[in-house]
Each structure stands twice: as C-alpha cells, then as structure tokens.
C-alpha cells in the first residue's frame, strides 16, 4: 500500500468527538500552532527546592541598586516571603511579642502520651491557624526537649482567651512535667486571615452555627446567627517599592516596611513603629488600609482606605473611601503641615475603595461603583481627583491590569478598558461562535 500524505488542520477542536474530528487535532498539551503546524512549548522548570507555605496571591519583582540583588516578593494566604537566589526567606511581620511568657509558672503544659501542648499567655490571644515562634524555653523533662519547643508553630485550637494549643512532633513521656521555664518568649506573626471573603453577618459569616451568649467558645447553637463576619477580608497582599525598600500590607491590615539594608533574614516591621524610631509621629501612620502603593515618580507612599488624620488624638476609625498619603520623599511623615505635602482626600462615589493601579500619567482608583483619576498637582493641593466614569463595576482587587498604557479590568458582567476614556471591552469572537 503506497504511503499517503495526511494534512492536519491547525488548531484544537473540542466541539465534537475524537472520532468525528477527522483530519484535525482533538487533544494536546504544552503546544502552540505556528504556520499551521504544532510546536512544542518550552515548559516550566523548578526555580528552587525551597518551598513556601500557603497559596501565592501577590508577586513583586525588583532589583536593588546597591548590590544588584534580584528579589521576588511573594504574599501568600499564610505569610510573606522574599525570594533571593532560589531561597524563600520568611519576612512576615510580627504583630505582638510576649516576653517572659508565663513568668515563674512557665507557659507549657502537656499530658503523658499526648503531643497537644497547651500554652498560657495572658497578654495576647491568637486565632486558629496563626503562627507563633518560641525561644528561650527549656526541656519539659522528657521527650519534649528545648529543641522541639523553640521553633515556629501553628495555633491548633483556642480553648479560652488566655490559652491556646500547639501540636508537637513527639508525644510527651512520663518525665515531661516541666513548664518550659520563666524566660520563654513568644513572637506572634500577622494573623493569616481568611481563605474566603466574608460579607455581612448571619449563616456562614464566622464559625459554624455562630456564637451566642457568654462563656466558653463551645457555646454555639444550631442555626444561631454569627456577628463576627463584618469586615473579615480574604488574605490579599499589596506590595510596592519605596526606592529599593519594600512596603507591604495585608488587605484590611496595617502597613509594614522592609529595609533592603537589613537583609532578607530580617522581618518587615510596622511602619508605625519605624516612623517613631526615625523621629516622627508614628501614631499618625494609618493603622489599616485596603491597599498600599508608592508613586515612584513623585515619591509618595499612598494608602487607599485608611483612618483619617485627627490632630491631638490619633483617630482609629477606618474610612474605606479615604485616600491618605505621606510627605514627599518621606514614608515616615503622615502629619499634614504647611512645611510638607502629607494629606488626605475622601472619595464620594461608592462605598469602599476596591483597588488602585499607577499608570504612566496618573493613578487609577476604583471604588465599588466608580473609577477615579488621581494626578499630582503639587503644593498646596498635592493630589487632584477626577471621576472618569460612574455606575461601573469591578470584580475584585486583583482584576485590573495595565498593558502598553491601556488598562483593562473585569466587571461583574462585562470587561472594561481605559485608554483616555472608559469603554466596554469587546473581546474577539470567532466566526464559528457567532
């Protein structure tokens, strides 16, 4: 039988079956079509044997200008890392430190044959799945050695407002009657937050079936309404550079600053505390924000959603429509004065700021129902705000992107684009699908 040339149609057709798609491609993997022929893609290679915890939800790449270090910031559902040379370095900020935990009584108790260790801390009450790092502990006397205690743990349960439990790698022996000593230190990392954004109250907003009355955390009832779901955010990170330093913020949480000069072995620290250390009024740094961003050209640090400045007594009431910015060239100064350019502005269209993206000529700011243009004016007004379009929608804080100076975003029921004016983005439709 003579050989017969087979001419395959380019592209993959999944509309029919494998049998009916004669002369065409029905299934493929890691290929693209070039000049009508399939071409193998290069695929992926593993960056490093090092791993990180959680699901990556934010990536930020930059190179410092002192030593040329290539960094990759990774915000996950549990922590924040900086990758350098194939190693993921945990720089997750600490939110609280308890020194001399437990005092003379010691903080640890465990039952024989169990690996569940109860920790007593009257100064801080973490949440389930939060991370805590212990140091300074001594052996409990048996299997639970100092090496086992002095490391990072995940909070397993929180039976009361002064105790929580952790899971050790070994079970306690009969000799584990100690308490860890009087100089144990516990360093608590920023809470891990939620994997699902919770809106409002009622069924599903919080713990199963809710909590009612007073007493222990087990005081729940079938179908009881929960009231702890308000304001609980999905764990999303915003990150940006201020020079060669890194500024990060978990959505709905505080602002943290990592200095390149301190190295990747050092954690990011609270901008409030750092501002005070640098000689400024750190209590006036925003205590929470939906997104932090830096205006790289004008050199401002900007918080989208923040507590307003109030002279005399720091205001802690969060305003989801407020835009606040630091002094120019100074991320530590947030107190407005005639001698600086720190300030704030409240947007009016919408109920909360969804997100913002710096572009070549302006900063685009989305509320849940409008799009604003934020442009630098200089003193005394500093920043000007113009509404570009009202009655629009935006799907999420991560649904916007700018490509070639054109910004695209996903709405609730359509796509939008902005290239000087807001338009509905019409995607290309193949003739066979019309």
Question: pLDDT digits over 214-256, tens only?
Answer: 444 444 444 444 444 344 678 899 999 999 999 999 999 999 9
pLDDT band at 1 (very low <50, low <70, confident <90, very high): low
Range 74-89 burial, b when 16+ CB lie within 10 A, else e:
bbbbbbbbbbeeeebb
Whether the predicted pLDDT of 330 surpasses 70: yes
Residue 404, Ramachandran bin (φ over 0: left; ψ between -120 and 50: alpha; else beta): left
d(CA 331, CA 255): 11
Whether the predicted pLDDT of 423 surpasses 50: yes
- Domain boundaries of the chain, sorted by first residue: 1-45, 56-89, 94-189, 237-431
Q: Are 383 and 423 in contact (CB under 8 A)?
A: no
Q: Are 24 and 8 in contact (CB under 8 A)?
A: yes
Q: Are 108 and 179 in contact (CB under 8 A)?
A: yes
State what percent of residues in the chain have pLDDT above 70.
Answer: 89
pLDDT in the model for residue 19:
83
Render pLDDT for 101-153 as a digit per residue (tens, 0 to 9).
Answer: 866 788 999 999 999 999 999 999 999 999 999 999 999 999 999 999 999 99
d(CA 417, CA 395): 14
Of 80, 88, 387, nearest to 250 by C-alpha is 80
pLDDT in the model for residue 61:
96
Render pLDDT for 77-98 as a digit per residue (tens, 0 to 9).
Answer: 999 999 999 999 999 999 999 9
pLDDT in the model for residue 432:
46
pLDDT in the model for residue 29:
83
d(CA 123, CA 105): 15
Token pair listed for 397: 């804080």
Render pLDDT for 297-307 as a digit per residue (tens, 0 to 9).
Answer: 889 999 999 99
d(CA 135, CA 125): 18
- Lowest-pLDDT range, 175-179, 202-206, 407-411? 202-206
Token pair listed for 220: 């729940």
Q: Are 407 and 401 in contact (CB under 8 A)?
A: yes
Token pair listed for 33: 């079509």
CATH ID of 94-189, from 1.10.4080.10, 1.10.10.10, 3.50.50.60, 2.40.30.20: 2.40.30.20
Of 296, 305, 298, nearest to 345 by C-alpha is 305
CATH number of 237-431: 2.130.10.10
- CA separation, residue 204 to residues 132, 197, 201, 219 (Å): 27, 11, 8, 17
Whether the predicted pLDDT of 353 surpasses 80: yes
């Amino acid at each position: 039988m003579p050989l017969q040339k087979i001419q395959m149609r380019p592209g993959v057709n999944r509309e029919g079956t494998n049998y009916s798609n004669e002369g065409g491609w029905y299934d493929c993997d890691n290929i693209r079509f070039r000049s009508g022929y399939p071409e193998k893609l290069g695929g992926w290679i593993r960056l490093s044997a090092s791993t990180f915890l959680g699901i990556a939800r934010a990536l930020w790449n930059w190179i410092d200008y002192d030593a040329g270090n290539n960094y990759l910031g990774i915000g996950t559902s549990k922590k924040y890392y900086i990758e350098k040379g194939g190693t993921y370095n945990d720089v997750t900020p600490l939110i609280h430190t308890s020194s001399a935990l437990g005092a003379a009584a010691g903080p640890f108790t465990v039952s024989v044959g169990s690996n569940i260790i109860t920790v007593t801390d009257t100064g801080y009450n973490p949440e389930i799945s939060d991370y805590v790092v212990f140091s300074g502990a001594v052996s409990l006397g048996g299997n639970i050695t100092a090496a086992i205690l002095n490391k990072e743990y995940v909070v397993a349960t929180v039976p009361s407002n002064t105790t929580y439990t952790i899971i050790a790698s070994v079970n306690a022996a009969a000799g584990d009657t100690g308490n860890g000593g009087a100089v144990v230190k516990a360093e608590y990392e920023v809470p891990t937050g939620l994997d699902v954004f919770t809106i409002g109250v009622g069924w599903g907003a919080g713990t199963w079936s809710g909590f009612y009355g007073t007493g222990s955390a087990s005081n729940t009832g079938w179908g009881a309404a929960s009231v702890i779901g308000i304001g609980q955010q999905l764990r999303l990170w915003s990150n940006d550079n201020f020079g060669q330093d890194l500024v990060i913020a978990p959505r709905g949480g505080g602002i943290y600053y990592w200095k390149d000069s301190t190295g990747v072995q050092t954690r990011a620290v609270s901008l409030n505390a750092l501002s005070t250390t640098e000689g400024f009024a750190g209590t006036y740094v925003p205590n929470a924000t939906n997104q932090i961003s830096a205006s790289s050209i004008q050199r401002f640090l900007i918080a989208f959603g923040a507590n307003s400045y109030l002279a005399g007594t720091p205001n802690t009431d969060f305003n989801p429509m407020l835009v606040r910015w630091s002094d120019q060239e100074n991320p530590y100064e947030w107190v407005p004065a005639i001698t600086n350019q720190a300030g704030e502005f409240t947007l009016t269209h919408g109920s909360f700021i969804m997100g913002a993206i710096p572009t070549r000529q302006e900063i685009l700011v989305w509320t849940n129902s409008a799009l604003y243009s934020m442009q630098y004016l200089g003193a005394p007004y500093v920043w000007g705000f113009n509404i570009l379009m009202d009655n629009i929608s935006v799907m999420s804080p991560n649904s916007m992107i700018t490509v070639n100076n054109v910004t695209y975003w996903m709405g609730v029921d359509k796509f939008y684009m902005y290239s000087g004016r807001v338009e509905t983005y019409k995607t290309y439709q193949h003739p066979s699908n019309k």
